[in-house]
Amino acid sequence: MKVSGLIAEALRSIGIGEEPIECVSLSGGCIHDVRHVSFATGRSLVCKTTMEPAGAEQLEAESQGLQALHDLEQQPLKIPAVLGFFRSTDRAVLILEWLEPGSPTDRMWSQFGTDLATMHDLVSDRRYGFAASNFIGATRQINDWSDDWVSFNQECRFEPQIKWARDAGLLQAEEVARISMVTRSLDRHLPADPHPSLLHGDLWSGNLIPLADGPIGVIDPACSIGDGWADIAMMRLFGGIPSICFDAYAEARTSDDPPSSDRLLVYQMYHLLNHVNLFGRGYVGQVMQIAESLA
């Protein structure tokens, strides 16, 4: 398949004028159109494309997150390099390094757990938040800076998700009341000042790619500075990641003790509320189950 005029224009903007020999649609692009673009020279890259203003904003935020991960000093994880971000009115293309997929092994998963712990042990900032708001899936994620992790989660994570779900009719009044009772007392479950780590933010198995050259590649972030165990909570939520990875993480982590189960449940409730807003009431039962256990 030939590349679109938009992709060709984006490639020219970063100095690539040669004609691609192949442009293949990639699975997993549920929000944007994602293409693997190959050239006769053997070079490959990824082009993520949108034709909508909201999508362009999402791709720009993704670019910022990937760049933050990539630029982290002593970053041990494999992050695709951002080669360019092209925007023309409502249209946009994010151009990324191609990561060649391979087959996962226990050794790869163990090493990923160790490397993630190493990343989380680095000090990224003394505050919680991020340089800009971004997106968790297609949902806006507020990242206003805060000195208090509990307040940050109340104001920037739970309050927006609850409001959006309530206003859309996805949560009933009694459900909102029950969830809000838990979020008002998050200080029972979360530390006020955990080690400030750079978080991927959306670290489920679909955003982890076992690579042909050995490591696990990491894509599609929703970055912020926060508690590293929040990434672990998301990794555990939907499965697909072997226990050897979590064991290696816990063994390698030096800046924080293993968390209580309630702490992980709080972070999982946030992601489940986001799934309510993205996909509907099918996730409300899981949200309420966690709310009941934390009440």
Tell me what pLDDT residue 113 has. 98
Tell me what pLDDT residue 28 has. 58
- Asked if residue 46 lies in contact with residue 96, where contact means CB atoms within 8 angstroms, the answer is yes
Q: Helix %, strand %, coil % for the chain, to 5?
A: 45, 20, 35
Separation of alpha carbons 31 and 54, rounded Å: 11
Separation of alpha carbons 271 and 290, rounded Å: 12
What are the C-alpha distances in Å from 234 to residues 64, 228, 268?
21, 11, 6
Tell me what pLDDT residue 1 has. 56
DSSP code for 16:
-
Nearest-CA neighbor of 122 among 61, 69, 73? 73
Mean pLDDT per 10-residue interval, the chain, length 295 residues: 81 92 78 91 94 92 96 94 93 96 96 97 88 96 98 98 98 98 97 96 96 94 97 97 97 90 98 98 98 96
- Asked if residue 50 lies in contact with residue 59, where contact means CB atoms within 8 angstroms, the answer is yes
Q: Which residues contact 68 (CB under 8 A, 6 or more apart)?
A: 130, 131, 198, 221, 223
Separation of alpha carbons 265 and 186, rounded Å: 11
- Asked if residue 104 lies in contact with residue 214, where contact means CB atoms within 8 angstroms, the answer is no
Tell me what pLDDT residue 27 has. 73
Nearest-CA neighbor of 187 among 235, 136, 221, 153? 153
The secondary structure element, H or E, covering residue 290 is helix 284-294
Separation of alpha carbons 17 and 15, rounded Å: 6
Separation of alpha carbons 113 and 244, rounded Å: 8
Tell me what pLDDT residue 2 has. 64
Tell me what pLDDT residue 188 has. 97
Which residues are catalytically annotated? 202
Tell me what pLDDT residue 75 has. 94
Which domains can be identified in the chain, with CATH numbers? 5-97 (3.30.200.20), 106-294 (3.90.1200.10)
Separation of alpha carbons 72 and 216, rounded Å: 17
Nearest-CA neighbor of 43 among 102, 82, 97, 3? 97
Tell me what pLDDT residue 4 has. 82
Tell me what pLDDT residue 29 has. 55
pTM for the whole thing? 0.95
Question: What's the full length of the chain, in residues?
Answer: 295
Separation of alpha carbons 265 and 276, rounded Å: 16
